[in-house]
Amino acid sequence: MTLIYQDRQLTKKPNKWIAALLGFFLSPMGLLYVGKPLLALLVLLAGFMLNFYGQFYASESLDFFVSIFLWCFFGFISVYAYNKALKFENKRPWYSKWNGQIGIFLIFIIPIIILRVFYIEFFHIPAASMSPSINMGDHIMVVKKGCGNYKLFGIQIHKSERTESCEIERGNVIVFEFPNDKSISYIKRVVAVSNDKVSYHKNILTINGTIVENKFISEQKRESIYEEQLGDTGYQIMQMSNRNHGDGDWIVPEGTFFVMGDNRDNSSDSRMWGFVPEQNVIGVLYHIFEK
């Protein structure tokens, strides 16, 4: 009797509705459920590349068409999985059963979570305070390793001291928890580090008594673009004519950073609300995905 029961379990067809739902919402898992591992791998790679392109590179005019294509793509997989479940005749392989599905899902998802929490994170830029270097609508990737502030969807997973692997120098762009509301993430450029003396008057930035030189690049309407250099890092800043924003003098306390937006006259930064404690740093900019 036991052998007969086990044989029935092995030959029991996949549920057509489960196959359809998995095919639409978790396409690779739906294909594994109906015994198509190679196709599942191909769909996983294709879906990842399409989603990555739509998220980070497609222009706003193409976003709609990419989204429609993805919905049609997942719909097709759903119908395909439904039909395969109806016609399924072979013995069920281990990866098509619920315990195999859960195991495969965990094998893929756990490394992704670890990577997301401790190593890299992606952010969308909703404002223009970092223009022209980073513009509204761009996506960025930051490296979190060693920064010590590890969260997942806003939940603190681990907190530790910043290490040497999270080296932050003048000119680096960082993402950090806004000191006045840690639920908000800000992105700014570090212009001064601990014990530096900062002066900003009439659009002239001075660090420790040395003027940070900039070179005029172009002008459009009331906005002027300059090339600025801090240490080994060169970048562009934007200034608005006939506007003087955030003048003052500061001494950076130990364990903090002084940050500014590259859009100097349209940025809420350390000139307004103070210094960024190093424990607030989430990560350092690694790459910009320009829209």
Residues assigned a catalytic role: 129, 188
Number of residues that this document lists for the chain: 291
Sequence-ordered strand ranges (E) for the chain = 120-124, 139-143, 149-152, 155-159, 173-178, 181-192, 197-201, 204-207, 210-211, 214-220, 223-230, 233-240, 248-251, 256-260, 276-277, 281-289
Distance CA 43, CA 184 (A): 35
Distance CA 274, CA 283 (A): 19
Contacts of 56 (CB under 8 A, 6+ apart): 122, 139, 289
Pair 174, 257: CB distance under 8 Å: yes
Q: How far is CA 117 from the centre of its chain?
A: 11
Report residue 201: phi and psi, to 5°.
-140, 130
Query: Which of 166, 201, 204, 200 lies closest to 285 in space, CA to CA?
Result: 166
Pair 57, 289: CB distance under 8 Å: yes
Distance CA 67, CA 53 (A): 11
Handedness of CA 117, 118, 123, 129 (dihedral sign): positive
Residue 231 gets the label, from left (phi > 0), alpha (psi -120 to 50) or beta, of left
Distance CA 235, CA 170 (A): 12
